Structure 1
Amino acid sequence: MDCFLKKFNELSLDELYGIIKLRLEVFVVEQDCVYQDLDDKDQVSYHLFLKDNDEIIAVLRIIPENVSFDEMAIGRLIVKKPYRGRGLSKMMMEKAIEFITSDLGKDRIRLSGQAYLTDFYIGLGFRKVSDEYLEDGIKHFEFLYGA
C-alpha cells in the first residue's frame, strides 16, 4: 500500500477518477445518500489517499480555512469496504492532522462527522462542539481539534 498527499492540480486524471469513484461508491450507493459530491472544494483542497496496486482504497480531503469552516477542515474520509477494520481510517486521520499541524502550522481543525463515529473522532483528539444535526439525511456533529 502506498500513501499520497497531493493538491488537486497534482492529481492525475486516473487518481481524480479513482477518488470520485470511491466517494460515489460509498456515500451515494452504499449509504444510499443522494447529495452533490462535486462541491467546488476539491480544487482548493489537498487529497490524501491510499493505493493498493493501482486501486484507490482510502481517501480524505484537507480543506483550507474559510472554505467549509473558519478553521482548516478534514472531510470525505472513506475506506473501501474490503479494507475496513484494518486501522486505515485512523492512520489517514493521523497523517492529515500531522500535515495540518506540522507542515501547515495550523492548530485548529473542524469537521462534520457522522454521529456513529463520535468515539472515533474523540479518540483522535477532537471534541464535539455542536448539537446533533442532519446532513443529507444522516445524523452528524461538528468536531473541533485544537485550542
Structure 2
Amino acid sequence: MEIQIKTFEQLSTTELYQLLELRSAVFVVEQECVYQDLDGKDQKAIHVLGIKNEKLVAYTRMFGPGDYFENSSIGRVVVAEDQRQFGYGKVIMEASLKDLERRFPETPIELSAQTYLLKFYNSLGFTEFGEEYLEDGIPHIRMKK
C-alpha cells in the first residue's frame, strides 16, 4: 500500500470520490449509521490516502491545532472491509501520526475513538480520557497521545 498525503486542493476529483465512497461504505452502510459525513471540515483537513492497485483502501483525515479539536487530531480512520486482514489500519495511522508530529511537533494528538477500537489505539500510544459517549449512535471515547 502506497501512502499519499494531500490537502483538499491537491485531491483529484477521482481521489475525492473514492474517499467519500469508502467513508460512506464503512461508516454509513457497514456500520448502519446515518450521519452527515460531509461536515464542511474536509476543506481544512490534511488527507492521508492508502492506495493499492490504484484504488483507495485506507484513509484518515488530519487537522492542525484548533481546526477540529484544541490539539492536532486524526479522524475518519477507515480501511475497506476486504483489506483489513493486511494491517493497513496500523500502517495508515502510523503514517498519519508521523506526518502530524512533523508538522506540529509540540502538540498532543487527539481523536474520538469508537470504543471497540480502544486496544488498537492504545497500541499506537493513545490513552483515553473523559467519559464514554454516543456519537451518531455508536459508543466513543476521546483519546490523546
Alignment match, 2:45: 45
Alignment match, 2:85: 85
Taking only aligned residues, the RMSD between alpha carbons, in angstroms, comes to 1.0
Deviation at 1:67, TM superposition (A): 2.5
Question: Using the alignment, how far apart are the partners of 2:131 and 2:31 within structure 1?
Answer: 22
Deviation at 1:44, TM superposition (A): 0.6
Question: Using the alignment, how far apart are the partners of 1:140 and 1:79 within structure 2?
Answer: 18
Alignment match, 2:127: 127
Structure 1: stretches of 5+ with no match in the other structure: none
Equivalenced residue count is 145
Contact (CA 8 Å) 1:51, 1:57: kept in 2 or not? Answer: yes
Question: Using the alignment, how far apart are the partners of 2:12 and 2:45 within structure 1?
Answer: 15
Three-state SS of the structure 2 residue aligned to 1:89 is helix
TM-score w.r.t. the length of structure 2 is: 0.96
Three-state SS of the structure 2 residue aligned to 1:133 is strand
Question: Using the alignment, how far apart are the partners of 1:43 and 1:59 within structure 2?
Answer: 15
Question: Using the alignment, how far apart are the partners of 1:33 and 1:23 within structure 2?
Answer: 11
1:105-124 residue pairs with structure 2 within 5 A?
A: 105-124=105-124
Q: Which sits farther off after the overlay, 90-99 or 13-22?
A: 90-99
Question: Using the alignment, how far apart are the partners of 1:130 and 1:89 within structure 2?
Answer: 24
Percent identity of the aligned residues?
Answer: 41
1:25-40 residue pairs with structure 2 within 5 A?
A: 25-40=25-40
String of CA shifts for 1:77-126, please: whole Å, max 9, x gaps: 00001100211111111111111112332430010000000011111111
Contact (CA 8 Å) 1:72, 1:106: kept in 2 or not? Answer: no
Deviation at 1:52, TM superposition (A): 1.6
Counterpart amino acid of residue 19 in structure 2? I
Contact (CA 8 Å) 2:72, 2:104: kept in 1 or not? Answer: no
Q: Which sits farther off after the overlay, 85-94 or 100-109?
A: 100-109
Counterpart amino acid of residue 10 in structure 2? E
- Say if 2:66 is the partner of 1:66: yes
